């Protein structure tokens, strides 16, 4: 008995000594914990400062509704009018109010507002002491990705046409005012009660800026071929390619070209559309430092992927997804497509009724029309497209004297060399671009086609909601 108690005591003392021994410290885990604590502290501090700043401006934060790489979005309630707004706060500190007003996104929203299909900027809030800049915008219900996610039954054709018509109107307004978006995707297209609005203008660019532009700007799944196969020689027609990809996604509830990297993205485009003519590839090669070759391939065709799509919608879809940007339909011409005939007639009837009511009440009303009047206002410029395969984009050069300069930005990059940009003429109703892709002297740079890109990019600002973090959409 004595021996047994002694043995148990010995084991207990051994366990105590083992527990009290100094353990080796995992310094990597320790530093990660410290960094997480510091990040959490800084985040809480910035949220507290933002809450105080918005409270001073008579806004009360309700909840956080999204976060991106460069900004975060909260839902706020105005204490003045009781309405709810989406407040986008930049993560990068701003040094002055002048710098805030010169932001490319702020300049674009001021130039494009008001328009019924462009997200509206309500107020600009800047705190000089903390450098916090917040854009107070109208709050929408959801974005298109959230709208179609998880749906089993296809959307009615009438609703799809309504959404695409409004999206084309938004882009026509942008292009007519000398701006192209460069990041059209479902996450940046917002809807509320069947009204569609385009948001997130952080990547926009002036139509009158000379190429080469930034190469990896558009989200990969919606990136046009000229963005993938040239060193930044693209134009506003890249927006129409993205619209075509969104059009397909709204119909089928799945992305059309979900590439995992740049090379896979081109491969998926060729699987559906086939390889283009050698003359077009040669034109792209002249605008890229590293040459490429693709084996001839006949694509499966879009009609095989969506066999139940109506013929007019399929016709417009093919024109939006034309491989050659010069052959791709423009936003103004797309509005005149046969698929939107009923919507155009409804606009004209509403416009005639509004004018008749104004005459009865004593003449045309002065001031700014309501949002409904804007929505049903018929575009006066542009021509009706009747059985025409390709129509040139709107006459964008008419505003060149009004907006001659590029939109400003904070971080000024080293200016690119001035390169001439000669192009061939394309027959069309209204000729805007009289030049094509340039013959460029080979540059000493490495191709990025085969390099996988980071899939973690989130939408900078969708004004209301951001996509879930687990969805790997084509990022930078």
Read off the CATH number of the domain in which 215 is found: 1.10.510.10
Residue 77 lies in a domain: yes
284 falls within a domain = yes
For residue 76, what is the domain's CATH number? 3.30.200.20
Q: List 121's β-bridge partners, or say none.
A: 137
Residues 148 and 90 grouped into a single domain:
no
Highest mean pLDDT among 16-25, 387-396, 407-416, 438-447: 16-25
- The pLDDT value given to residue 170: 96
Tell whether 169 and 129 lie within a shared domain: no
> Does residue 82 fall inside a structural domain?
yes
Same domain membership, residue 232 and residue 194: yes
Do 332 and 394 touch, CB atoms closer than 8 A? Answer: yes
Same domain, 244 and 156: yes
Whether residue 189 is predicted with pLDDT greater than 50 in this model: the reply is: yes
Query: Considering 321, 343, 365, which residue would you say is the last residue of a domain?
Result: 343
The token pair that represents 352 in the structure block: 């005639």
- Beta-bridge mates of residue 134: 89, 125
* Whether 248 and 301 share a structural domain: yes
**C-beta of residue 297 within 8 angstroms of C-beta of residue 275:** yes
Q: Which two tokens stand for residue 54?
A: 């918005």
- Residue 197 assigned as binding residue: no
Q: What is the pLDDT of residue 130?
A: 86
Q: Tens digits of per-residue pLDDT, 339-358?
A: 999 999 999 999 899 888 87
97 and 166, same domain (yes or no):
no
- What is the CA angle 439-440-443, rounded to 5? 155
Query: Contact, 463 vs 139, CB < 8 A?
Result: yes
Number of domains in the chain: 2
Given 3-state DSSP classes, what are the helix, strand and coil percentages for the chain, each rounded to the nearest 5? 40, 10, 50
Residue-wise pLDDT for 8-27, tens only, equals 566 666 655 655 554 455 55
- Point out the domain boundary residue: 90, 114, 138: 138
Q: Which domain holds residue 114?
A: 54-138
The catalytically annotated residue of 172, 183, 239, 324 is: 183
Whole-model pTM: value is 0.68
Measure Cα distances from 184 to 45, 81, 212, 221, 263 in Å.
Answer: 34, 32, 20, 10, 21
Q: Among 44, 75, 41, which residue's Cα sits nearest to residue 466?
A: 75
Residues 218-242, buried b or exposed e (16+ Cβ, 10 A)?
Answer: bbbbbbbbbbbbbbbbbbbbbbbbb
Helix (H) or strand (E) holding 63: strand 59-67
Q: Report pLDDT digits (tens) over 61-77.
A: 999 888 877 888 999 99
What residues have CB less than 8 Å from 342, skipping those under 6 apart? Answer: 161
Task: In whole angstroms, give the CA distance from residue 396 to residue 399.
Answer: 6
- State residue 27's pLDDT score: 52
User: Tokens in use for 318?
Assistant: 């093919």
In a domain, 406, yes or no: no
- Distance between CA atoms of residues 13 and 72, nearest Å: 56
Question: What would the mean pLDDT of 248-274 be, rounded to a whole number?
Answer: 94
Take residue 168 and report the two structure tokens written for it.
């084309």
At residue 386, does pLDDT exceed 60?
Answer: no
Summarised one tens digit per residue, pLDDT across range 421-476 is: 444 444 444 434 444 444 444 444 444 444 444 443 444 444 444 344 444 565 54
Per-residue b or e along 79-92, where b marks 16 or more CB atoms closer than 10 Å to that residue's CB: eeeeeebbbbbbee
Residues 122 and 67 in one domain: yes
Rounded CA separation 202/107 (Å)? 10
Answer with the one of 306, 328, 343 that is the final residue of a domain: 343
248 in any annotated domain: yes
Judge whether 251 lies within some domain.
yes
* Domain match, 161 and 304 both: yes
Per-residue pLDDT reduced to its tens digit, 86-117? 999 988 888 898 999 989 899 999 999 999 99
Residue 259 lies in a domain: yes
Nearest alpha-carbon partner for 251 in 193, 316, 319: 316
Question: Within this chain, do residues 152 and 132 fall inside the same structural domain, yes or no?
Answer: no
Whether residue 470 lies in the annotated active site: no
Residues 179 and 202 in one domain: yes
Phi, psi of 45 (to 5 degrees): -65, -45
Q: What is the mean pLDDT of the chain?
A: 76
Q: Is residue 118 domain-shared with residue 175, that is, in the same domain?
A: no
The values of phi and psi at residue 313, to 5°, are -65, -40
**Residue 387 located in a structural domain:** no
Of the CA atoms within 13 Å of residue 157, those in its CB half-sphere come to 10
98 and 201 housed in the same domain: no
């Amino acid at each position: 008995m004595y021996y047994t108690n002694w043995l148990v005591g010995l084991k207990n003392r051994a366990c105590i000594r083992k527990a009290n021994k100094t353990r080796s410290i995992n310094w990597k885990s320790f530093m990660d914990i410290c960094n997480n604590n510091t990040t959490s502290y800084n985040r809480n501090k910035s949220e507290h400062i933002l809450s105080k700043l918005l409270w001073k401006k008579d806004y009360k934060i309700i909840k956080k509704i999204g976060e991106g790489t460069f900004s975060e979005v909260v839902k706020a309630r105005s204490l003045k009018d009781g309405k709810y707004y989406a407040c986008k706060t930049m993560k990068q500190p701003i040094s002055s109010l002048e710098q805030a007003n010169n932001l490319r996104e702020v300049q674009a929203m001021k130039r494009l507002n008001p328009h019924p299909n462009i997200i509206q900027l309500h107020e600009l809030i800047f705190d000089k002491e903390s450098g916090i800049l917040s854009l107070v915008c109208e709050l929408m219900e959801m974005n298109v990705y959230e709208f179609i996610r998880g749906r089993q039954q296809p959307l009615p054709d009438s609703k799809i046409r309504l959404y695409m018509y409004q999206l084309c109107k938004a882009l026509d307004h942008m292009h007519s005012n000398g701006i192209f978006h460069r990041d059209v995707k479902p996450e940046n297209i917002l809807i509320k009660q069947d009204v569609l609005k385009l948001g997130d203008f952080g990547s926009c660019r002036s139509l009158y800026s000379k190429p080469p532009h930034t190469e990896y700007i558009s989200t990969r799944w919606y990136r046009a071929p000229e963005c993938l196969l040239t060193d930044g020689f693209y134009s506003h027609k890249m927006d129409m390619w993205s619209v075509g990809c969104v059009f397909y996604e709204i119909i089928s509830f799945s992305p059309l070209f979900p590439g995992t990297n740049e090379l896979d993205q081109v491969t998926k485009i060729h699987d559906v559309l086939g390889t283009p003519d050698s003359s077009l590839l040669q034109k792209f090669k002249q605008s890229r430092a590293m040459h490429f070759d693709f084996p001839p391939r006949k694509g499966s065709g879009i009609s095989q992927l969506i066999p139940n799509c109506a013929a007019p919608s399929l016709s417009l879809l093919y024109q939006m997804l034309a491989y050659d940007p010069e052959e791709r339909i423009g936003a103004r011409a797309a509005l005149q497509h046969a698929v939107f005939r009923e919507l155009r007639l409804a606009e004209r009837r509403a416009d005639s009724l509004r004018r008749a009511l104004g005459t009865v009440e004593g003449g045309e009303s002065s001031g700014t029309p309501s949002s409904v009047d804007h929505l049903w206002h018929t575009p006066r410029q542009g021509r009706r497209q009747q059985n025409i395969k390709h129509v040139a984009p709107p006459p964008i050069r008419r505003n060149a004297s009004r907006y001659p300069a590029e939109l400003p930005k904070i971080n000024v990059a080293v200016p690119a060399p001035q390169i001439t940009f000669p192009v061939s003429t394309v027959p069309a109703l209204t000729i805007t671009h009289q030049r094509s892709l340039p013959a460029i002297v080979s540059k000493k740079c490495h191709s990025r086609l085969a390099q996988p890109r980071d899939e973690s990019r989130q939408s900078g600002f969708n004004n209301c909601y951001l996509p879930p973090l687990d969805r790997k959409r084509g990022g930078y």
